[in-house]
Amino acid sequence: MSNALSRDFYARPTLTVARDLLGAILCHRRGDAVLKARIVEVEAYISERDQACHARAGRTARTAVMYGPPGHAYVYLVYGMHEMLNVVTEREGSPAAVLVRGAVRLGGEPLPGPGRLTRALGIDRALDAVDLCSDRLWIEAGGLGRGERIARSPRIGIDYAGSPWVEKPWRLYVEGSVGVSRPRA
DNA sequence: ATCCAGATGGTC
DNA sequence: ACCATCTGGATA
């Protein structure tokens, strides 16, 4: 956990955190081993106004962690089978988070897609609300390589949100990376 | 290339 | 009754 990003990193505007998360290293301690993957695709979900954000319905048992202090994990299940990992951003009281959608394991194995990524790294709801400034689950500074560019697109799978939320270009990814789930959209 | 169903369960 | 998904198989 030595190089874990600090609480201050997460306590910033969600789109800024999302951008800075590209290239960062997601780390999960599994007993003796630490599984690590480089984040290459994320999506921002910002406030109760954002009709794609789970906080649109206000505070509930599930979304409570998004209302808490930044730098915590928000992990939930979708479609009965995929665990989604988000990191809570902004200050306490403003519900927002960044969904981690794609990564590349250190060693090169591509982990495109939010469901795949969590399965490969052994991340599930047991880690919901866990502090990312800890030695269980954390993120280390990474950054982009020379020549790596950030691309933007609308978020995936949120058609129900309606305009203008469906169109918001709040999905950010490293162009051309093998860890990106839908190079096209 | 696009479409679609099936798996599978929490949430509101 | 929806879903912040993914896959494999059909169609074209």
Domains contained in chain A, CATH given: 7-174 (3.10.300.10)
Interatomic distance A184 CA / C11 C1' (Å) = 22
Over residues A73-127, the pLDDT tens digits come to: 999 999 999 999 999 999 999 999 999 999 999 999 999 999 999 999 999 999 9
Q: What is the pLDDT of residue A182?
A: 76
Residue among A111, A96, A151 at smallest CA distance from A26 = A111
d(CA A171, CA A13): 15
Would you call A95 helix, strand, or coil by DSSP? coil
What is the biggest distance separating any 2 CA atoms in chain A, rounded to whole angstroms? 47
What's the whole-model pTM score? Answer: 0.95
| Proximity of residue A62 CB to strand C below 7 A | no
Residue for token digits 């995936």?
Answer: A156
Q: Which nucleotides of B are covered by protein (CB under 7 A)?
A: 1, 7-12
Which residues touch A124 (CB under 8 Å, ≥6 apart)? A75, A83, A118
H or E element: which one contains A10? helix A7-10
Tokens of A127: 């880690």
Minimal CA–CA distance to A41: which of A92, A90, A110, A107? A110
Distance CA A15, CA A17 (A): 5
- CA A163 to CA A143: how far, in whole Å? 33
**Looking at residues A35-52, what average pLDDT do you find?**
96
CA atom of A82 to C1′ atom of C11, Å: 28
Nearest nt by C1' to A77 Cα:
B10
Q: Would you say A42 and A173 are in contact if contact means Cβ atoms under 8 Å apart?
A: yes
Å from A182 (CA) to C7 (C1')?
A: 14
Q: Which nucleotide is nearest to A78 (CA to C1')?
A: C3
